[in-house]
């Protein structure tokens, strides 16, 4: 065995020898070949791209000999990667095979509000929901997930999420890796907690509701200990932070730099070189990683809960091992320019201020609560937007169709809150009066706000008026959202 391995190593170019690590050395436990979400192209019916999506309970083996109860979409855990060309009309035939109501939200998509799949479009057990709309979106990595009223955290924790891969001509014209499974990999990163029976029990207590529900096991596409093997000199990682609550500071164990090429809403104007980056729950980033030297490495995440300002980091965890097949010639130079981005300008039509606070002794009246939640509500106060908890019967504000507004989020809490707005992509005008960092200058639909921070956004909604279908604005820490850190507005 040893002899064979030594022979193999000596056959490799000298350059690569010192750095070669096998996955066995990178993962203490049994490594697994990375599994990608199935690329689903749907089927064409009268010019409409139709996807069949069935939400159902299942069991999944995350660890040898342990069978865990999960919820999946056309799969035991998580769902497919839906491939759509911008400009196409799509229809989703969503069947709820659960024994409870759900909903399926198209996160990041510009769409008629009645198709959004938020809490106002519940799908009853056994029912079929068939939203249809024209996708008018830049190429990028979007996703879909449960948005059932008060149950979003529980259903996503169990696995109810999947990816949307939108393609367009602008992106297709660039020399970027895009062969799925060869040099282009979609990674849903999550952390989960397993009990002694191997179950991902979802019973958030006081701490879980404040910090958000976090776990000690890292999953990539539902796998623990994944190894990505590639023969390409440069790969593209399309990463979704699919956690309920954890904010991930991502970096490689060997400190190598990588390039971010896209944010939530598609291509950046130019590649941004970085050696670490932060992704909050719901955020996506696309990154290029150079593997030509043949050296294996480990992607790592430092985890932060919502209370990181007072509690600090939850530690650094291994996420996925990258294992090049061999050393080889470098990839061609990157394009200097990527997407065409209009300058981000303040929205002149209105300025709305959203203040994020923690209520004093606020009780969460009318919500389902266990004792721990009650304690949280009474002792610490709930996370509020403009002093209020979510009320499905209250429209918090209305936005005129076609308006371009400036929305200001003032984080006056001691908590981190990643804020997400439905039905649009926005631009970050400033953080604390300073321009956003380069990798946040593109289109976004989630923005992390830190304690004490003021973030200004340019937000617009075009051609989607519907006074009867509210859109959501909320913290994407799902336990904050389910506890009421959400508002709703209509486009009129």
Contact residues: ligand C2O, CB under 6 A: 105, 107, 145, 147, 282, 420, 422, 472, 474, 476
Whichever of 262 and 280 has its CB closer to Cu ion, that residue is: 280
Whichever of 420 and 431 has its CB closer to ligand C2O, that residue is: 420
CB of 245 to Cu ion, least distance (A): 8
User: Taking CB under 5 A as the criterion, which residues in 386-425 touch Cu ion?
Assistant: 417, 422
Residue 7 to residues 142, 162, 230, 326, Cα–Cα distance (Å): 45, 43, 22, 15
Whichever of 103 and 223 has its CB closer to Cu ion, that residue is: 103
Whichever of 138 and 251 has its CB closer to ligand C2O, that residue is: 138
As a whole number of angstroms, the distance between CA 480 and CA 211 comes to 9
Q: Give every CB contact of residue 202 below 8 A, 6+ residues apart in sequence.
A: 153, 154, 157, 158, 213
CB of 379 to Cu ion, least distance (A): 18
Whichever of 417 and 431 has its CB closer to Cu ion, that residue is: 417
Instruction: By CB under 5 A, tell whether 270 contacts Cu ion.
Output: no
CB of 120 to Cu ion, least distance (A): 13
CB of 229 to Cu ion, least distance (A): 33
Residue 332, classified by CB atoms within 10 Å of its CB into exposed (0-12), middle (13-18) or buried (19+), is: exposed
CB of 302 to ligand C2O, least distance (A): 23
The alpha carbon of 473 is separated from its chain's Cα centroid by a whole number of angstroms, namely: 16
User: Taking CB under 5 A as the criterion, which residues in 94-113 touch Cu ion?
Assistant: 107
Q: Which residue is nearest to Cu ion (CB)?
A: 475
As a whole number of angstroms, the distance between CA 105 and CA 476 comes to 13
> Binds 159, which of Cu ion, ligand C2O, none (CB < 5 to 8 A, cut-off by type)?
none
Q: Give every CB contact of residue 485 below 8 A, 6+ residues apart in sequence.
A: 356, 382, 383, 384, 385, 389, 390, 417, 474, 475, 477
> Binds 439, which of Cu ion, ligand C2O, none (CB < 5 to 8 A, cut-off by type)?
none
Whichever of 240 and 298 has its CB closer to ligand C2O, that residue is: 240
Where would I find the beta strands (DSSP E) of 175-256?
184-192, 217-220, 226-230, 234-241, 247-252
Residue 475 to residues 157, 421, 481, 491, Cα–Cα distance (Å): 16, 9, 6, 20
> Binds 457, which of ligand C2O, Cu ion, none (CB < 5 to 8 A, cut-off by type)?
none
Whichever of 422 and 427 has its CB closer to Cu ion, that residue is: 422
Whichever of 164 and 321 has its CB closer to ligand C2O, that residue is: 164
> Binds 474, which of Cu ion, ligand C2O, none (CB < 5 to 8 A, cut-off by type)?
ligand C2O
CB of 282 to ligand C2O, least distance (A): 5
> Binds 282, which of ligand C2O, Cu ion, none (CB < 5 to 8 A, cut-off by type)?
ligand C2O
Yes or no: say if 42 and 51 are a contact pair by the CB < 8 Å rule. Answer: yes
CB of 109 to Cu ion, least distance (A): 8
Whichever of 417 and 427 has its CB closer to Cu ion, that residue is: 417
CB of 157 to Cu ion, least distance (A): 16
Instruction: By CB under 5 A, tell whether 145 contacts Cu ion.
Output: no
> Binds 362, which of ligand C2O, Cu ion, none (CB < 5 to 8 A, cut-off by type)?
none
CB of 273 to Cu ion, least distance (A): 29
Residue 231 to residues 4, 184, 332, Cα–Cα distance (Å): 22, 11, 15
As a whole number of angstroms, the distance between CA 386 and CA 12 comes to 61
Whichever of 147 and 480 has its CB closer to ligand C2O, that residue is: 147
CB of 108 to ligand C2O, least distance (A): 8
Yes or no: say if 48 and 90 are a contact pair by the CB < 8 Å rule. Answer: yes
Q: Give every CB contact of residue 106 below 8 A, 6+ residues apart in sequence.
A: 92, 115, 116, 117, 131, 142, 144, 164
As a whole number of angstroms, the distance between CA 434 and CA 409 comes to 14
> Binds 147, which of Cu ion, ligand C2O, none (CB < 5 to 8 A, cut-off by type)?
ligand C2O
CB of 256 to ligand C2O, least distance (A): 30
Phi–psi pair at 307, nearest 5 degrees = -95, 25
> Binds 475, which of Cu ion, ligand C2O, none (CB < 5 to 8 A, cut-off by type)?
Cu ion
Q: Which residue is nearest to ligand C2O (CB)?
A: 107
Yes or no: say if 421 and 105 are a contact pair by the CB < 8 Å rule. Answer: no
SS (HEC) of 421-454: ECCCCEEEEEECCECCCHHHCCCECEEEECCCCE
As a whole number of angstroms, the distance between CA 488 and CA 415 comes to 22
Residue 245: beta bridge partners? none
> Binds 225, which of ligand C2O, Cu ion, none (CB < 5 to 8 A, cut-off by type)?
none
Binding residue (CB under 5 A) for Cu ion from 262, 389, 455, 475:
475
As a whole number of angstroms, the distance between CA 88 and CA 52 comes to 16
Interface residues with Cu ion (CB under 5 A)? 107, 417, 422, 475, 477, 480
């Amino acid at each position: 065995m040893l002899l064979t391995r030594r022979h193999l190593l000596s056959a490799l170019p000298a350059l690569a020898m010192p750095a070669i690590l096998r996955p066995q050395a990178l993962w203490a436990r049994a490594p697994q070949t990375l599994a990608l979400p199935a690329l689903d192209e749907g089927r064409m019916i009268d010019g409409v791209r139709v996807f069949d999506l069935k939400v159902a309970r299942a069991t999944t083996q995350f660890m040898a000999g342990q069978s865990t109860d999960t919820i999946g979409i056309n799969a035991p855990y998580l769902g497919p990667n839906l491939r759509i060309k911008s400009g196409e009309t799509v229809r989703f035939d969503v069947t709820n095979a659960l024994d409870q109501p759900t909903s399926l939200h198209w996160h990041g998509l510009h769409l008629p509000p009645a198709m959004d799949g938020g809490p106002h479009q519940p799908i009853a057990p056994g029912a079929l929901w068939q939203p249809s709309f024209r996708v008018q979106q830049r190429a990028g990595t979007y996703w879909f997930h449960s948005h059932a009223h008060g149950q979003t955290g529980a259903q996503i924790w169990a696995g109810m999420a999947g990816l949307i891969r939108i393609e367009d001509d602008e992106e297709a014209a660039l020399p970027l890796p895009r062969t799925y499974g060869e040099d282009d990999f979609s990674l849903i990163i999550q952390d989960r907690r397993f009990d002694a029976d191997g179950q991902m029990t979802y019973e958030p207590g006081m701490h879980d509701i404040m910090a958000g529900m976090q776990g000690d096991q890292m999953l990539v596409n539902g796998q623990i200990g994944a190894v990505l093997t590639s023969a390409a000199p440069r790969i593209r990682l399309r990463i979704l932070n699919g956690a309920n609550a954890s904010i991930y500071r991502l970096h490689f164990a060997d400190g190598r730099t990588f390039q971010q090429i896209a944010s939530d809403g598609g291509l950046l104007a130019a590649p941004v070189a970085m050696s670490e980056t932060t992704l909050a729950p719901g955020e996506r980033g696309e990154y290029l990683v150079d593997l030509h030297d043949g050296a294996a490495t480990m992607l790592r995440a430092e985890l932060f809960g919502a209370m990181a300002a007072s509690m600090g980091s939850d530690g650094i965890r291994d996420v996925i091992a990258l294992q090049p097949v061999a050393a080889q010639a470098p990839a061609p130079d990157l394009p200097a320019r990527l997407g065409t981005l209009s300058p981000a300008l303040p929205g002149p039509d209105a300025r709305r201020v959203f203040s994020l606070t923690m209520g004093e002794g606020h009780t969460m009246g009318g919500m389902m609560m266990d004792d721990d939640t009650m304690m949280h509500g009474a002792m610490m106060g709930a996370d509020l937007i403009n002093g209020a908890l979510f009320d499905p019967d209250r429209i918090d504000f209305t936005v005129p169709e076609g308006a371009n507004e400036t929305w200001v989020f003032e984080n006056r809490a001691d908590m981190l809150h990643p804020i997400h707005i439905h039905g649009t992509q926005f631009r970050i005008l400033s953080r604390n009066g300073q321009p956003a960092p380069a990798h946040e200058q593109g289109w976004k639909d989630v923005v992390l706000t830190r304690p004490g921070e003021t973030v200004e956004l340019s937000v617009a909604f075009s051609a989607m008026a519907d006074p009867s279908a509210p859109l959501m604005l909320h913290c994407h820490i799902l336990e904050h959202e389910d506890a009421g850190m959400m508002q709703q507005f209509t486009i009129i």
